[in-house]
Structure 1
Amino acid sequence: MKFAFSLKNKLKIAFLLFCIMCCSLLIRFLEDKSVEKINESFISMYNDRLVPATDLYFIAENLYHKNSIIQNSLGFYGSSIHPSVGNIQLAKHNRKIDSVISKYELTVLVKQEKQYLNDLKTSLAHQQFQESKILNLVIHDVLEGRRLYETSGKNTSTRALKTLSALIKMQSKVGDELIKDSEIFVSGTKIYSTLQVILAIAIGILIVGIVSASNAVKIQNEKFNLN
């Protein structure tokens, strides 16, 4: 009878230890997953947000230079360049912009970013068309070129910059979301660490209980033998 009771208790203890071991393994697995997610968030923050955001500002810089070329071709501010030279310079900046956009398209983009990017590409294409039209007019009639620039050229340039600004803001918004996700994962790892501490304490208490029970049985056996 004592043997059956002892065996039953041992089986309970073994099952409890097995459950604790499974919980420890599960917590360890979840913790590794959280660390992996945090790492992915930081990599994405750098590769898909920080670097592309820098590239987008580079587009803004090229748009500024393009506007200066148009103004110089029109003879504004007392400086002037030949339209053919202006076309060459514009083509150079357009290639730089196209290169940045092609690189940007390879990054991970959310749905809204894709929409803003398509809008930007449309605005840039329309701006390039207007720029080419203005410079072709300047060759024959500077005043007509200036009129076209004042009526529609400025608007297309402003629209392109606004679309670019919206895309940059969207980049910042998605970056904030990534930071929030990382904070959630960090909180998860803290919870998992706390659970591991609790399990360690539970194992310690269980071991103390087993040792105390063993000592009590040993003392009882010694008393029984003495009797």
Structure 2
Amino acid sequence: MKFAFSLKNKLKIAFLLFCIMCCSLLIRFLEDKSVKKINESFVSMYNDRLVPATDLYFIAENLYQKSSVLQNILIFTDQNITPAAGLLQLTHHNNKIDSIINKYQLTLLVKQEQRFLNDLKNTLFIQQEFENKILNIALNDVANGRKIYETAGRDISANTLNKLSALIKIQSNVGDELINDSKVFVSGTKIYSTFQVILAIAIGVLIVGIISASNAVKVQNNKFNLN
């Protein structure tokens, strides 16, 4: 009877320890998964948000440079730059913008971001075609080219900048979502750490209980032997 009772208690203790071990392994797995997600969020924040945001700034810079070229030729009639030279400069800036757009498309894009990017590409194409048309007209008649630019060119440029601003705003919104996701993963990691502490305390209590029970059995055995 004593042997059966002792074996039954040992099986209970072994099962309890096994459950604690499984819980510890599960918590460790979930914690590693959370850390991985946090790392992925920060990597995505840099590769898919910070770097592209910088690229969008360079698009704005090239748009500004193109506007300066057109104004120098058509409005300020700068003699140091001809319409033919202006066409070459615009081509240079357009190639830079196209290169940035191609690079930007390789990043992780949400659906709304993809839609705004397509809108920007369309407006950039319209603006490029319009600018080339104006400068080709200005090759023979600068005054006529200036008139067309002042009536429609400014609106087209403003529309392109509005599309670019909308895309930049989307970048900021998606970045905020990534930060919120990271906060959730961090909170999960804290919870897992709390569970680990609780399990450690449970193991300590169990060990103390086993030692106390063992000492009690020894005392009873000694009393039995004395009798």
Unaligned runs of 5+ in 1: none
Alignment partner, residue 104 of structure 2: 104
Alignment partner, residue 47 of structure 1: 47
CA distance in 2, matches of 1:56, 1:130: 22
* Higher alpha-carbon deviation: 151-160 or 23-32: 151-160
CA distance in 2, matches of 1:36, 1:142: 60
Alignment partner, residue 6 of structure 1: 6
CA distance in 2, matches of 1:4, 1:34: 45
Alignment partner, residue 90 of structure 1: 90
1:178-209 Cα deviation digits (max 9, x unpaired) = 01100110111111001000000000000000
RMSD: 0.9
Alignment partner, residue 125 of structure 1: 125
Alignment partner, residue 212 of structure 2: 212
Q: Which amino acid aligns with 1:119?
A: D
Q: Which amino acid aligns with 1:89?
A: Q
Alignment partner, residue 29 of structure 1: 29
Instruction: Return the offset for 1:146.
Output: 1.4
Secondary structure of the 2:139 match is helix
Alignment partner, residue 77 of structure 1: 76
Instruction: Return the offset for 1:140.
Output: 2.0
Instruction: Return the offset for 1:83.
Output: 0.6
Alignment partner, residue 57 of structure 2: 57
Instruction: Return the offset for 1:98.
Output: 0.5
CA distance in 1, matches of 2:147, 2:115: 32
CA distance in 2, matches of 1:122, 1:83: 25
Instruction: Return the offset for 1:143.
Output: 2.2
CA distance in 1, matches of 2:116, 2:138: 33
Instruction: Return the offset for 1:78.
Output: 5.4
CA distance in 2, matches of 1:32, 1:59: 39
Instruction: Return the offset for 1:148.
Output: 1.1
Unaligned runs of 5+ in 2: none
CA distance in 2, matches of 1:77, 1:121: 29
TM-score of the superposed pair, with normalisation by structure 2: 0.98
CA distance in 2, matches of 1:7, 1:58: 75
1:136 pairs with 2:136:
yes
Instruction: Return the offset for 1:73.
Output: 1.5
Runs of 4 or more above 3 Å deviation:
none
Alignment partner, residue 67 of structure 1: 67
